[in-house]
Structure formats: C-alpha cells, structure tokens
C-alpha cells in the first residue's frame, strides 16, 4: 500500500536477504531490493579464493523475490546494485526516494563475494584487500551516509547491519578446513563498529542501529559451492528465515530498543521469542 513504511534490503536475490525482505513484507513494509542478479538463471558466484577456479551457478533473483513480496500484498522495487560499483551503491537510496518518497529501514545484508574472502594470509594481494574492504566496509558506509539525511529529516529510521561471528572468534582451522579468511573477518569486524557509532551520533534524532549475526546458515550460495559443507558439519545450520524474522521484529517492535549496543545472535533471539513457528535452537548449534 502507498502509505506503508519502506524497507531497503541489499543482497535480496537469495539467502538471508531474500528471507529478510519477505519477513519485512509480511510485517507490512513495501520493500526495495537490490543485488547483482536480476533474472532467474543469471546468478553466478565469483571464486572466493585464488585456490578456487571458475564460477558457480546459483538460484535466486531479484525478480523472484519481488514476485514473492507482491504475493504478500506489498509493493516491490527492483534496484540492481554491485557492492564494488560506487555509483550503483549511491544511486540505490536516490532511486527509492524518487519512487516512494521515504526510507524507514535499511537492512545492510549484501556482502562482497570474490577472491580474498577465503584466501590464506600468504595468498592476499593489495588488489583483493582493497576490493573486499571496499565492498564490505567502505561502500556499505557510503550507503548509510546516503540514507542518513532523509532519516534525520523524518526524525526516525532503523539501520540493521549484517555482521559475522568470524569477527569475534579466531578460526579453528585454515580457510576451507573449518576456518575462514582473515581478510573477510577483518572487514566484518570493521563493519561491526558502525552500528554503535550511528547510535552515539544519531540516536537523539530517532535513528536506531543494530548488529545482527545470523550464525551458520546454509544459503543457496554455500550449497552451490559444495554439496558437502564443513561449516554446517561443525557449527550446524539455522534457516535463513530465522534471521529474516529477527530483522522484521527489530524493525517493528518497540521492545527491540533493549538490544541497542548488543551483538544480536539471530538464531537464539528467534528461538527465544518464538518468531519462527516450528523451529527452535538446538544444543548442537554453535553460537
């Protein structure tokens, strides 16, 4: 409906971004969605390491997510974006404001995918370090900067940033053997400091920012890379919908303010609040 609040979700063609977009639509939001893959069948995953060759096909698309949003009775707006393309990042909020005139929630779910993500220390290059830090931190901050003036003007707004447990814990093994690339975890650690800064600087203006950790989620991208996943075996796997429901709850429930300044582990909060009927956190799932 035209009077509905508006959410912007990045990386919404599949996985947690799609789940968040659908949960927000079910909560009454019109949803603007961005990602690189617009049409079904076009999804390609870039190699995440110099030790990996070729690309992988992956299901999901913005067109599919948009159709599912509209099935839930809300408007969908497709705005393609690549985290390495500065102009596409800057144009996303402008496109939404021109089309719908408001942005109430920004869910920063998109993540850089490419060489460097799962590389070992000796394999890192200046190029891969610049690309990953640009996609996972610099351009994410630019996106927030573009949204802030509007949120300040309307004296309200919610920013939800996707963080990662890899930013808090040392890897138990090398990348691909139970561990993760230190460049990826470093970029997520940097991004994990943004929400606290936003609350300190703009909380008085009605803006709230949250860090949400999805835990281990077997997304379409992870499944496309390998049918056997060492991380699922080691850490378990929560459904993407668990994080999606938490995102919608943070965007709508006044009680969510008690989580300001906290690292929100989405599977536990979803289970504690009973947000996803039929699913609960198990003892085998590692936080």
Residues 168-199 pLDDT 10s: 999 999 998 888 999 999 999 999 999 999 99
Total Cβ atoms within 10 A of residue 257: 12
Q: Within 13 Å of residue 48, how many CA atoms lie on the same side as its CB?
A: 20
Alpha-carbon distance of 195 to 104, in angstroms, equals 16
Residue 217 has which token pair? 């989620």
Alpha-carbon distance of 242 to 130, in angstroms, equals 32
Following CA atoms 186, 103, 11, 253 in sequence, which dihedral angle do they give, to the nearest 10 degrees? 80
Among 264, 232, 224, CA closest to 113: 224
- Residue 125 contacts residue 117 (beta carbons within 8 Å): no
> Element (H or E) spanning 274, and its range?
none
Q: Which residues pair with 265 in a beta bridge?
A: 213
What is the per-residue pLDDT for 235?
Answer: 66
Instruction: Please report, in tens digits, the pLDDT of each residue of the chain (287 residues total).
Output: 568 999 999 999 999 999 999 999 999 999 999 999 999 989 888 889 998 877 778 889 999 999 999 999 999 999 999 999 999 999 999 999 999 999 999 999 999 999 999 999 999 999 999 999 999 999 999 999 999 999 999 999 999 999 999 999 999 999 988 889 999 999 999 999 999 999 999 999 999 999 999 999 977 776 766 655 666 666 678 999 999 999 999 999 999 999 999 999 999 999 999 999 999 987 545 44
Residues in Cβ contact with 72 at an 8 Å cutoff, skipping those fewer than 6 apart: 22, 25, 26
Just give the CATH number of 6-273. 3.40.50.720
């Amino acid at each position: 409906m035209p009077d509905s609040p508006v959410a912007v979700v990045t990386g919404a063609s599949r996985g947690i971004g799609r789940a968040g977009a659908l949960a927000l639509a079910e909560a009454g939001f019109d949803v603007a969605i961005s990602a690189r893959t617009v049409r079904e069948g076009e999804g390609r995953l870039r190699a995440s390491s110099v030790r990996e060759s070729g690309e992988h096909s992956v299901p999901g698309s913005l067109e599919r997510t948009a159709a599912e949003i509209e099935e839930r009775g809300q408007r969908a707006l497709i705005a393609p974006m690549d985290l390495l393309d500065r102009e596409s990042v800057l144009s996303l909020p402008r496109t939404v404001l021109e089309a719908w005139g408001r942005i109430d929630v920004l869910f920063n779910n998109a993540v850089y995918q490419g060489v460097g993500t799962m590389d070992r220390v000796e394999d890192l290059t200046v190029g891969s370090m610049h690309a990953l830090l640009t996609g996972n931190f610099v351009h994410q901050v630019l996106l927030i900067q573009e949204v802030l003036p509007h949120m300040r003007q309307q004296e309200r707004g919610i920013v939800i940033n996707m963080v990662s447990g890899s930013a808090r814990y040392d890897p138990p093994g090398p990348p691909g053997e139970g561990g993760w690339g230190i460049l990826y975890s470093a970029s997520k650690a940097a991004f994990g400091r943004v929400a606290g800064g936003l609350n300190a600087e703009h909380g008085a203006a009605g803006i709230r920012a949250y860090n949400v950790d999805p835990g281990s989620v077997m997304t379409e991208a992870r499944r496309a890379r390998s049918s056997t996943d060492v991380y699922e075996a080691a850490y378990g796997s929560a459904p993407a919908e668990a994080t999606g429901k938490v995102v919608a709850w943070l965007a709508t429930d006044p009680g969510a303010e008690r989580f300001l300044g906290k690292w929100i582990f989405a599977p536990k909060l979803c289970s504690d609040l009973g947000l996803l009927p039929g699913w609960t956190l198990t003892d085998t799932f590692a936080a």
